[in-house]
Amino acid sequence: MSRKLKNVLVTGGAGFIGSNFINYLLGLSATGSKEFMDSGFTGRIINVDCLTYAGNPDNLSMAVKQKDRYIFEKADICDRKEMERIFKQYDIDTVVHFAAESHVDRSILGPEAFIRTNVTGTFTLLDVARKYWNVSLDNKRDDVIFHHISTDEVYGSLGPDGYFTETTPYDPRSPYSSSKASSDHIAMAYYHTYGMPLTLSNCTNNYGPYQFPEKLLPLMISNIRDGKNLPVYGEGKNIRDWIYVEDHNRAVWQILNNGRYGEKYNIGGENEWQNIKLLNKLIDLTAPLTGKNAEEVRKSIVYVKDRPGHDARYAIDCSKIKKELGWQRKMTFEQGLELTVKWYLEHREWMDRILSGEYKNWISENYSGR
C-alpha cells in the first residue's frame, strides 16, 4: 500500500456499491466471504448520504457496530456549507464519490434529480475538496485523493464486436449516462485546471447483496420468489457485462492506494450475458431454492415495451487496471450468482422492508436530523 489514507469520506455509502465498499474497508463482507475482508485499512470512514429512496441504513447494520471507525452524516452532496463543515470537522484526506441517482429508467421518467445530484453534486464536492486541500497547479499534493466513481454507460452502445477502452470517446444516450459523463468531464477538468489529485473509474454492471430491487437481478429474484411476472424489455437481447460488487470495490481500493492521478481505469467482469439468457440462468438457480419448477417459472416471462434508447451492448476492456495495478477479479460468475441468489432469499426481511415501504418510515423516525 503506498498512500496513507486516514479520514475517508465515502459519499452514497448507504446505497448498493457504497455500503459494500464500507464493509470491505472495515474488514466485513455481507456474505462473510473471507477473500473480500482483506483491505488492511486502519483509518476512519465518514459516510455522507442524504438517504434518497435508494439509501438504506439496513445495509450498514454491521458497520455501525464499529463506532470508533464508522461515522454516518445525513447530508446532501449539493449542500456546500454541509460539505465544507464535514471536510473540516473530520479533516478529510480521501474522497470516494459513489453518491448518484443511478437508475436509467428513473432518469427517463424524471431527469432533473440526475442533473442535480450527478452534475451539481459532483461539482460541489470537487470544489469543496479543492479549496479545503488548497490544491492548484502550483501546489500539487500527493497526500490526498479524490476518486470519482463512474459507469461504462458513458461510452454509449457497442455493436456485436469490440470493447470500451479508456480512450473510447464518450457517447452517452440516457439522461443518467449523460449526467455521469458530465460529472466525469468536470472531475477531469479539475485535474487539468487545478491539479486536483484525482482518479476516475468506469465500471460495468455490478451484482451482489444490498442492490435496490428495481435493478434487473434483485427484481427478478424477488419476483421469482413471489410468483410475479418477469418483465423483459424489448426482445431481451441486450448485453451487459456483470461484475461481483466486491471485486469492483477491490479495484477501487487498489486505485485509491496506487492509481496515478489524472488517470481513468476501466473495471469489468469480462462476463457478458444477453438479458434473456441471464434470466433463464437465474430461474434455473432460484426456482429450486424456492420450491418451484423452473419450467413453470419461465411461463411468467413477459416481453414488455423496450426502454427508450436502450443501449444494445456494454463490454469493458480492463487490461489497463490489470497490467498497471495487478487487479484481477476473484469471484467467478457461477459462485457469485449463487451467493447472491442465496443472500437475497436468506434476507427476505431486508427485501420485504424495502418493498413494503416500512424502511422509509424507519428512516424518518431515525434520521429526522443529526
- Is 295 tagged catalytic? no
Q: How far is the CB of 267 from ligand DAU (least distance, A)?
A: 10
232 binds, among ligand NAD, ligand DAU, none (CB under 5 to 8 A by kind): ligand DAU
Contacting residue, 10, 16, 197, 321, with ligand NAD by CB under 6 A: 16
Report whether 199 contacts 147 (CB < 8 A): yes
- Is 152 tagged catalytic? yes
What are 343's strand-pairing partners? none
**C-alpha cell read off for 2:** 503506498
Residues 120-139 binding ligand NAD (CB under 6 A) are: 121
Residue 205 binding ligand NAD, by CB under 6 A:
yes
DSSP string computed for 224-242: HHHT--EEEETTS--EEEE
Nearer Cβ to ligand DAU, position 148 or 240? Answer: 240
Contacting residue, 9, 44, 63, 76, with ligand NAD by CB under 6 A: 76
**Active-site choice (93, 101, 152, 247):** 152
Going by DSSP bridges, is the β-strand pair 230-233/301-304 parallel, antiparallel, or unpaired?
parallel
Q: How far apart are CA 80 and CA 121, in angstroms?
A: 9
**C-alpha cell read off for 275:** 438479458
Residue 99 binding ligand NAD, by CB under 6 A:
yes
Task: Determine how many CB atoms are found less than 10 A away from the CB of residue 141.
Answer: 15
- Segment contacting ligand NAD (CB under 6 A): 65-73, 98-106, 298-306, 335-343? 98-106
275 binds, among ligand NAD, ligand DAU, none (CB under 5 to 8 A by kind): ligand DAU
Q: How far apart are CA 370 and CA 355, in angstroms?
A: 26
Nearer Cβ to ligand DAU, position 258 or 300? Answer: 300
Residue 252 binding ligand NAD, by CB under 6 A:
no
DSSP string computed for 282-336: HHHHHHHHTT--HHHHHTTEEEEPPPTT---B--B--HHHHHHH-------HHHH
Closest residue to ligand DAU using C-beta atoms = 151
25 binds, among ligand NAD, ligand DAU, none (CB under 5 to 8 A by kind): none
Residue 311 binding ligand NAD, by CB under 6 A:
no
DSSP SS3 for 83: helix
Q: Residue 365: CB partners within 8 Å, gap ≥ 6?
A: none
Footprint of ligand DAU (CB under 6 A): 102-104, 151-153, 204-205, 215-216, 219, 231-233, 238, 240, 275, 307, 314
Q: How far apart are CA 362 and CA 353, in angstroms?
A: 10
Q: How far apart are CA 112 and CA 102, in angstroms?
A: 13
Q: How far is the CB of 140 from ligand NAD (least distance, A)?
A: 26
233 binds, among ligand NAD, ligand DAU, none (CB under 5 to 8 A by kind): ligand DAU
Reference 190, options 143, 132, 146, 253; nearest CA is 146
Nearer Cβ to ligand DAU, position 27 or 231? Answer: 231
**Active-site choice (90, 163, 176, 191):** 176
What are 200's strand-pairing partners? 148, 264
Q: What are phi and psi of 8, to 5 degrees?
A: -95, 115
Residue 178 binding ligand NAD, by CB under 6 A:
no
- Burial class, 294, CB count within 10 angstroms (exposed 0-12 / middle 13-18 / buried 19+): middle
- Segment contacting ligand NAD (CB under 6 A): 9-17, 27-35, 137-145, 300-308? 9-17
Nearer Cβ to ligand NAD, position 26 or 287? Answer: 26
- Is 358 tagged catalytic? no
**Active-site choice (73, 153, 166, 184):** 153
Reference 131, options 119, 118, 144; nearest CA is 144
Closest residue to ligand NAD using C-beta atoms = 15
**C-alpha cell read off for 279:** 434470466
Q: How far is the CB of 359 from ligand NAD (least distance, A)?
A: 12
| Residues designated catalytic | 152-153, 176
Q: Which residues bind ligand NAD (CB under 6 A)?
A: 11-12, 14-18, 49-52, 54-55, 76-78, 98-102, 117, 121, 149, 151, 180, 203, 205-206, 212
